[in-house]
Amino acid sequence: MIDTWAQIGYLISAVCFIVALKALSSPKSARRGNLLGAAGAVLAVIITFVAYKPDHLAAILVALVIGTIAGVVGSRRVQMTHMPQLVALFNGVGGGAAALVALMELGEVRDGETIAAIATAFTIVVGAISFSGSVVTFAKLQELMTSRPVTFPGLPVLFVAGTLGGVALSVWLVTDPRVWVGVLLCLVGLALGVMLVLPVGGADVPIVISLLNAFTGLTVAAGGYVLGNALLLIAGTLVGAAGTLLTKLMADAMGRSVFNILFGAVKGGSTLGGGVASERPVISGTATDVAILLGYAQRVVIVPGYGLAVAQAQHTLRDLVEELQGRGVKVDYAIHPVAGRMPGHMNVLLAEAQVPYEQLREMDEINGDFKSTDVVLVVGANDVVNPAARNTPSAPIYGMPILNADEAQRVIFLKRSMRPGFAGIENELLYDPKTTLLFGDARESLTKLLAAVKNI
């Protein structure tokens, strides 16, 4: 009877996860979806404790306390600029945990249980790939190592050899489930994860995070099968499917295939440009110059990017927009699918500043409006408005759909310096005669702009 009630409780938790995922599809309901998903997870943990009375209770409770403290501290201290790194770490921990659970369950796999052995081998190797690969993506985004593609002679051969070795060890583990074989398979998976992510550079790193997230979901689902836990099976399948779809959508937004993103540098191409600042002359202006352009415009479009997040300037930007709207200027925000360092980064950042969701317009929706736009204000973005994506076949971002900012009457860039964007290539729009640059920290520049607009 207890087991029946436990399964009903797990079913309720699973429904919470499904409804939460649906709610996360819109910024309006995302907060509610997050709370619902967390409630489902808490319910599942309580059910497990009450119904099944796990062994080693003291150690489990200590781990729960440590994890809770780390989660609370992390969520409160980590800035929005570092959120992609946090997501990468959390994802890696999930994959590593799944691999460790599968290793511990090896002793329970009996001869003849082929499906369980296959699921266990899959969980070990893919979970290890997800863990080590996520650690490398964290290091790239945190600038603990270069964000440029890292390759070396023999990498393709080594990667193929590791893949074949992983397959061979997996077959061995299925036919003879020994713990030491599982440990070897885990080590091979860790090496494969590192080799998979090292050649990825530039703006492609967030796409790899999404792919590794899908890997983690699949390992959790496989682990649910091994443990006979339907809730893990459902939750892992949800994460795996969502991560896979997101990876495909992001790759499409970059105009490239997932295979090219992962192995383009290995084949001799590159997902990152030179990264050298140009000394070509540009037109720069003062805050007053830019304020006059904005204050007397009829239509203004804001293009936010990672620089806005770094400067924590979203609140000042909102104040500037409200001031312009008070003067009768029509203002919208143009959101590129991969602006920032993760999907939805700009949406969350602007929602934090209480920017109305109705003002946030996606790329496909707003691209046709740039021709009738008086001024485009680019705040901390670069690659998502770079015409090289359309005009320069040799550019690393060629084929990536971009915001058509170059079609507007005037363009204003708020930039700290002339350094290229994350893709490491020059933006020809910076040298266009209709473009004005306002140099400085984004928050300081926006503060000066706000004061100047008020004085017009």
- Closest alpha carbon to 138 in 77, 83, 69, 214: 83
> Which one is catalytic: 383, 406, 432, 441?
383
Active site residue 383: yes
Active-site positions read 383
